[in-house]
Structure 1
Amino acid sequence: MKTIGRIFTFIIIVGGIIFAYLVFAPNTTFNAAKKHLYIRPGSEPASQQIVKQLQTGKIIDNVKVFDFLAPKMNAYKNLVPGRLTVPKHTSVYGLIKILKANKQDTVHFTIKRVRTREGLAAMMGHNLMTDSATTYMYLSNNDSLRQFGVDTFTLNTLLIPGTYNLKWEYTTGQVLAIFAAAKKGFWSRNNRTARAAALGLTPDQATTLASIVEDETMKDSEKDTIASVYLNRLRSGMALGADPTIKYALKDFDMKRILNQDLKVQSPYNTYINKGLPPGPICTPDSVTIEAVLNAPKTDYMYFVAKPDFGGYHNFSRDYAQHLKLAEQFHDALDKKNIK
């Protein structure tokens, strides 16, 4: 009997060790630093959503152990729609603790260069619970956008480049409200709204002009001078004649050379045939570029063209004859490089 007792005790101890190992040992199956679990609103209980993802998402090995323990430990009691992070080496017990804590992820949503509603919708669909198609429909509806003081043309004025801390479950409207608050804060600082007004521009118009400057040059040192050229053209009633707006109108952002036939495109963004600013930004300008517009020096330059050395800088001119000579040098350089 003593022998049977010892064997039974041994089995219990070994079983306990194995069970403890299955529960407390690192149990993730992925090589990345982390994976995510998603809880979506709807009729399916959070518990079922979690188990399905564990079964198909290759997150932990011991799904059956988890499924046995989770209900008994009230793992699902506090869960609400959102996204949860599972770090590498998490144990079954550790995963249950994550679910019980219901600590929703922060999504670090970075805006750097956004051109179109399609692009913004795709970014939001990739990073947030909303899908890109639904988001695009929202962004294309002026009734939806009106509450944020924008329309489909001026939507990009809401997008101040930077990183925003969002929740995965935020709706498109909630995200735009955060963008609108950031925009308001940006223009209330450093006397920006008043400085734009001194140039005869609203904040949205200044952003639109800055978006053109943003696409004209990567050289921060000459952005203010380029801005001064466009301001001079606006004041004189001359068409802006901005090549980046042609690329935007054609939705061909990789164009290396603008041809005469391209200048005929029928679009409100064609600043060769429409005087004044286009109806909205053609990209999201950096704050440095907006500052360059607000700090534009007083010049008498009316023209500029890229230097033929392709170093990224520009030659500036006061009269058209001088500009044509400089433009010819640049076009000759394009021909020599066979840039069409």
Structure 2
Amino acid sequence: MSNAAKAVRLVLALLILLAALGGAAYGGLRWALARLEPADPTAGLLEVEIPSGATTTDVAQILAEHGIIRDPAVFRYYVRYRELDGQIVSGRYELSAAMSADQILTKLVNGEVVVRRFTIPEGLTVEMMADLLAEAQVVDREAFLDAALAAAAENPYLPEDVELIQPMEGYLFPATYQYHSGITAEEVVAMLMARFEAVWTPELLARADEMGLSVHEVTTLASIVETEARVAAEQPQIAGVYLNRLAVGMPLQADPTVYYALGLPRSEALSYDDLEVDSPYNTYRYPGLPPGPIAAPGEGAIRAVLYPATHDYYYFVAKNDGSGEHYFATTYAEHLENVDRAEANLAEQGP
């Protein structure tokens, strides 16, 4: 259909509408066209929610109630004239009374919804996630914690008869997520859990089985690697150290497990008394893996455990030279030499 034909059709359609409106016809065609112009040319943006299943009539009424359009009846008829009835996409939109009906309709039909994002960094605990999401005003802190606890009943990877500080620790995957305004805590937890499951491809599941490790065990060790490594490239090296220790029955002696057992901020220095805390999560006192993850590992840490570097290292210590890297050693004597080097580096850094 040509533009001229469309214009004629619009005029005829509006004349029919005016006739149907009775008294409104007095203003003529110019009045009807004016009803499709911006309601307030000086207005700013406003977020408007179009619910799922909303009809054209519902949408017109919602827009009118927010002052976005001048006349819901004219807008409704305009949608039908454009043959876009039933094509409006639900969601939350940024709209303005300074937009014309055509501009508004274009956004609604194209589904140009407001895109919100939040990022969960690697290495956070569930408690830390709750704080982050509350601060970002995504969901309420306690609602998130309650939703995470409830989700544990649906987690197929949790071992039976194991007491965990937080059952969903490690299973809420760190990543950047898109979400809609008004999202529930349950929906957030479901998104994070779904991403965790997506990371565990058949390849990774098969590799874990080949190593004789469960998803829970891999995730647990990966969470320690995640919190120990400051440089991503060292994750396979550190994973190799822990796997070497497990293979010969050496305790992991991982500081992050003590922080987790005590609930201490990782910025605090551990004392010798802290290393003696009686908790199954304390890998200084208890051999093998702790009962469960101590944080949320990223895909890099998970892969580091499944595909570790092959070496004969059993020890590592932070270089303390500002690089975030570690010195690795095979023997305890070599490790003590590395500790001296690290202390010397720290002294050079100054107060």
Same fold (TM over 0.5): yes
- Matched with 2:16 is none
Fraction of identical pairs, as percent: 30
**Distance 1:29-1:284 versus aligned 2 partners, 3 A rule:** same
Q: How does 1:52-201 map to 2 (within 5 A)?
A: 63=67, 66=69, 69-70=71-72, 73=75, 84-86=92-94, 91=99, 93=101, 97=105, 103=111, 105=114, 107-113=116-122, 115-124=124-133, 130-141=139-150, 144-149=151-156, 153-189=166-202, 191-201=203-213
2:47 to 36, 57, 60: 36
What is the letter of the counterpart of residue 141 of structure 2? S
Q: Distance in 2 between matches of 1:71 and 1:239?
A: 74
d(CA) in 2 for partners of 1:219 and 1:21? Answer: 58
CA RMSD across the alignment: 4.4
Cα distance, 1:240 vs structure 2: 0.9
Alignment match, 2:18: none
One-letter amino acid of the counterpart of residue 145, structure 1 = A
SS of the residue aligned with 1:155? Answer: coil
The 1:120–1:49 alpha-carbon spacing in structure 2 relative to 1, beyond 3 Å, is farther
Cα distance between partner residues in 1 of 2:237 and 2:143: 41
> What SS does the corresponding residue of 2:173 show, helix, strand or coil?
coil
- Aligned match for 1:273, one of 276, 279, 285: 285
Scaled by the length of structure 2, what TM-score is found?
0.67
1:229 alignment partner in structure 2: 241
Give the distance between the partners of 2:294 and 2:132, measured in 1 at CA.
Answer: 17
Contact kept in structure 2, 1:106 and 1:165, CA below 8 Å? yes
Q: Which runs of 5+ in 2 are unaligned?
A: 1-26, 53-57, 78-84, 159-164
**Cα distance in 1 between the residues matched to 2:74 and 2:135:** 35
Q: What is the CA–CA distance in structure 2 between the aligned matches of 1:221 and 1:129, rounded to whole Å?
A: 32
Segment drifting more, 223-232 vs 240-249: 240-249
Q: Counterpart of 1:334 in structure 2: which amino acid?
A: L
Scaled by the length of structure 1, the TM-score of the pair is 0.69
Quick one: which amino acid aligns to residue 149 of structure 1? P
Within 5 Å, which residues of 2 pair with 1:203-282?
203-255=215-267, 257-282=269-294
Count of residue pairs the alignment pairs up: 305
* 1:286 aligned onto 2:298: yes
Give how far 1:215 is off.
2.0
SS in structure 1 at match of 2:201: helix
Letter in 2 for 1:93: A
Match of 1:301 in 2: 313
Amino acid at match of 2:38: V
Structure 1 stretches of 5 or more lacking a match? 1-11, 55-62
CA contact (8 A) 1:128 1:169 kept: no
Q: 1: CA distance between counterparts of 2:227 and 2:185? A: 27
